[in-house]
């Protein structure tokens, strides 16, 4: 028939066996079968014993079973309550039909479908029952939508009640209105009034606001647009309150007898809060206007509510420029510090009060300035986020002093090379790296062979010039990842990082660099000694170096042990006649 059962006798075949059909009847039957097949309602042909003979596509979809699985199966088994279905089936067989009986069909996935069950017994000419035709109407979505609408209406009513919001509907012809109880309570009435008109509403509006409110109403009706306003009212008990109301027209224009529906809300507390905020903001601005710190207030939409005048001195931009382009706040941040600021803002949104940070900004004149930045979130009276306030202080001079202290603590003042403290710190970090990565590094101790005679003959100024030139030559022989440091006097130490994973190969690389440094330092020196009031003196001097090299990475030695190994190798180079390179054979790890 509509969905062949396969293996069973279809309803069509059973009917055809009763009597010969004419061509016209057969065509009519096929047309009927086609109509039932394309209908959206599930259709079943069921024998008198309750077994399915045929089913259309909609029936297959609602049960989740194939046509083959449906054929010959018990019809009642597809319902959530088979026993109840059995009773209804007996009722159909007894009275001949059943209309719109609510039932539930269970899909193969376990999902129930609420349906209206309709059935009729098919009889032959002798009124003998042949089978039962069943059509079910799926009302699952309809009931779900109705339930959703009820829930939505319930939530709306609850929200209106809890937020003290009144609902109203105004007849634009009669000016009469139907309202919720909360509407009348807003105007001071304890019980709902029997009648309420637009004119009664206007009498409650303060005289100073009345003309504007009425003009907005007239304009909204004529132009068929929303009526949105705030005004003050005098309640029936004499108390003056602020209200906000909005209404929209429905059912056509005023000329066609339309209506306006809307809500009204008491906003007196909100207005008081706004006044208090304006007063607090005025005091806040007064304080910031007379401080050197640059303060501002960013609203949730990214706009600026306030920028103190001191922004001009710190950034070169006026407050007006920041108001016009709020993005300047982040645009002026140094490119290398953008990620720091972004992380800070993320912490502000996630944690509420992040720690102060220091970053650089570029002024309008292109100068770099250091600032300390701190910000705090702002909340309104209800606890809702209202942006954040930031404060920036110029820390440029303090940062310069801090850098100078850093230089004195970790760098040699004469050559500007890292000193012993910084070299040891870098060595410690590099040793941890080579241990993790199973690689090798090297340390070389460099001692000048002919430095003291220069000092004795020409004084310390000449010696300083030589040391500066030695530092320059040594830096030209190493990579950017390597470190050339001065330990004091004429002693230098070079740290070679990441030489490879092979000990012998790493030692060979270190030897090549050491020979390069030795050769560079052995080149003649031409020093220009400047003395105030005298002509410049040109000093030519020869100075070589003895270099000791120690590799590390395959043992558990400390930083001081490695320095000692390199120092020992350097003394071996001295003993060997100076101007030489010696490699310390460091023991491997056990």
Q: Tens place of pLDDT for every residue, the chain, 590 residues?
A: 444 444 444 545 544 544 454 555 455 556 556 667 777 889 999 999 999 988 898 899 999 999 899 999 999 999 999 888 888 889 999 999 999 889 999 999 999 999 999 999 999 888 899 899 999 998 888 888 888 878 876 777 677 777 778 888 888 888 888 888 888 889 999 888 888 999 999 999 999 999 999 999 999 998 888 899 999 999 999 999 999 999 988 865 444 558 899 889 998 888 887 877 776 666 666 555 656 688 888 898 989 988 888 888 889 999 899 999 999 988 999 999 888 888 877 666 555 566 788 899 999 999 999 988 888 888 877 788 888 888 888 888 888 877 776 666 788 889 989 988 889 989 999 998 888 888 999 999 999 998 999 988 888 899 999 999 999 999 999 999 999 999 988 999 999 999 988 888 999 999 999 999 999 999 999 999 888 878 888 999 999 999 999 999 877 788 899 999 999 999 999 999 999 999 997 665 54
Q: What does the alpha-carbon distance between residue 517 and residue 524 come to, in Å, rounded to a whole number?
A: 14
Domains 11-143 and 273-399 share a fold: yes
CATH label, 273-399, candidates 3.30.70.3400, 3.90.1150.10, 3.40.50.720, 3.30.450.20: 3.30.450.20
- The per-residue pLDDT for 126 is 87
Q: What does the alpha-carbon distance between residue 212 and residue 220 come to, in Å, rounded to a whole number?
A: 12
For residue 60, the tally of other CB atoms under 10 A from its CB is: 17
Give the start-to-end residue ranges of the domains of the chain: 11-143, 163-266, 273-399, 411-584
- The per-residue pLDDT for 30 is 63
Residue with tokens 């080149």: 523
Radius of gyration (C-alpha) of the chain in whole angstroms: 47
**CATH, range 163-266:** 3.30.450.20
- The per-residue pLDDT for 297 is 86
- The per-residue pLDDT for 5 is 42
Token readout for 327 is 């993005």
For residue 268, the tally of other CB atoms under 10 A from its CB is: 16
- Helices and strands counted in the chain (H then E): 20, 22
Supply φ then ψ for residue 64, to 5 degrees. Answer: 75, 15
For residue 299, the tally of other CB atoms under 10 A from its CB is: 15
Cβ-Cβ contacts under 8 Å for 575 (sequence gap 6 or more): none
Token readout for 556 is 């558990």
- The per-residue pLDDT for 307 is 86
Q: What does the alpha-carbon distance between residue 125 and residue 242 come to, in Å, rounded to a whole number?
A: 81
- The per-residue pLDDT for 8 is 47
For residue 251, the tally of other CB atoms under 10 A from its CB is: 11
Q: Which CATH architecture has domain 11-143?
A: 2-Layer Sandwich (3.30)
- The per-residue pLDDT for 513 is 96
**Could you give the C-alpha distances from 218 to 50, 178, 213, 224, in angstroms and in order?**
70, 20, 9, 10
Query: What's domain 411-584's superfamily in CATH?
Result: Reverse transcriptase/Diguanylate cyclase domain (3.30.70.270)
């Amino acid at each position: 028939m509509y969905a062949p059962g396969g293996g069973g006798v279809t309803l069509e075949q059973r009917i055809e066996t009763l009597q010969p059909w004419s061509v016209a009847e057969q065509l009519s039957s096929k047309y009927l079968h086609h109509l039932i097949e394309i209908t959206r309602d599930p259709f079943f042909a069921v024998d008198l014993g309750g077994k399915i003979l045929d089913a259309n596509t909609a029936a297959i979809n609602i049960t989740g079973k194939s046509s083959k699985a449906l054929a010959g199966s018990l019809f009642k088994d597809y319902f959530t309550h088979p026993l109840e279905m059995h009773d209804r089936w007996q009722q159909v067989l007894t009275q001949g039909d059943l209309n719109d009986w609510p039932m539930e069909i269970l899909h193969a996935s376990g999902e129930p479908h609420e349906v209206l069950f309709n059935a009729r017994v098919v009889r032959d000419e002798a009124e003998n029952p042949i089978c039962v035709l069943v059509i079910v109407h799926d009302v699952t979505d309809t009931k779900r939508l109705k339930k959703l609408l009820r829930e939505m209406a319930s939530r709306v009513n609850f929200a209106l009640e809890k937020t003290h919001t009144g609902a109203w509907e105004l007849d634009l012809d009669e000016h009469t209105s139907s309202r919720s109880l909360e509407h009348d309570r807003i105007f001071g009435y304890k019980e709902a009034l029997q009648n309420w008109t637009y004119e009664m509403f206007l009498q409650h509006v303060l005289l100073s606001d009345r003309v504007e409110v009425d003009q907005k109403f007239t304009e909204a009706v004529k132009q068929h647009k929303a009526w949105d306003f705030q005004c003050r009212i005098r309640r029936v008990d004499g108390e003056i309150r602020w209200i906000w109301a909005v209404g929209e027209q429905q059912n056509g224009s005023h000329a066609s007898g339309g209506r306006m529906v809307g809500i009204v809300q008491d906003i007196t507390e909100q207005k008081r809060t706004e006044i208090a905020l304006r007063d607090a903001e005025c005091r806040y601005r007064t304080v910031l206007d007379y401080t050197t710190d640059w303060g501002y207030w960013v609203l949730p939409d990214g706009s600026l509510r306030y920028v103190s005048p001191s922004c001009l001195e710190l950034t070169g931009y006026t407050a007006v420029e920041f108001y016009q382009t709020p993005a300047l706040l982040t645009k002026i941040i140094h490119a290398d510090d953008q990620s720091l600021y972004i992380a800070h803002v993320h912490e502000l949104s996630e944690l509420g009060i992040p720690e102060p940070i220091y970053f650089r900004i570029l002024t309008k004149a292109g100068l770099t300035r250091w600032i300390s930045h701190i910000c705090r979130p702002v909340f309104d009276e209800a606890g809702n986020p209202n942006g954040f306030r930031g404060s920036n202080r110029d820390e440029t001079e303090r940062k310069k002093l801090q850098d100078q202290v850093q230089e004195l603590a970790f760098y040699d003042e004469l050559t500007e090379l890292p000193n012993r403290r910084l070299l040891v710190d870098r060595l410690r970090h590099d040793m941890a790296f080579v241990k993790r990565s199973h690689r090798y590094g090297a340390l070389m101790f460099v001692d000048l062979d002919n430095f003291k005679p220069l000092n004795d003959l020409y004084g310390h100024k000449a010696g300083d010039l030589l040391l500066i030139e030695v530092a320059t030559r040594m830096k030209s022989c190493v990579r950017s990842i390597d470190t050339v440091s001065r330990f004091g006097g004429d002693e230098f130490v070079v740290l070679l990082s990441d030489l490879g994973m092979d000990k012998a190969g790493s030692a060979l690389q270190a030897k090549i660099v050491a020979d390069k440094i030795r050769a560079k330092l052995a080149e003649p020196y031409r020093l220009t000694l400047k003395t105030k009031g005298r002509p410049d003196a040109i000093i030519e001097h020869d100075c070589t170096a003895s270099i000791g090299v120690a590799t590390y990475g395959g043992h558990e030695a400390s930083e001081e042990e490695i320095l000692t190994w390199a120092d020992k190798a350097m003394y071996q180079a001295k003993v060997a006649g100076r101007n030489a390179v010696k490699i310390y054979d460091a023991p491997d790890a056990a």
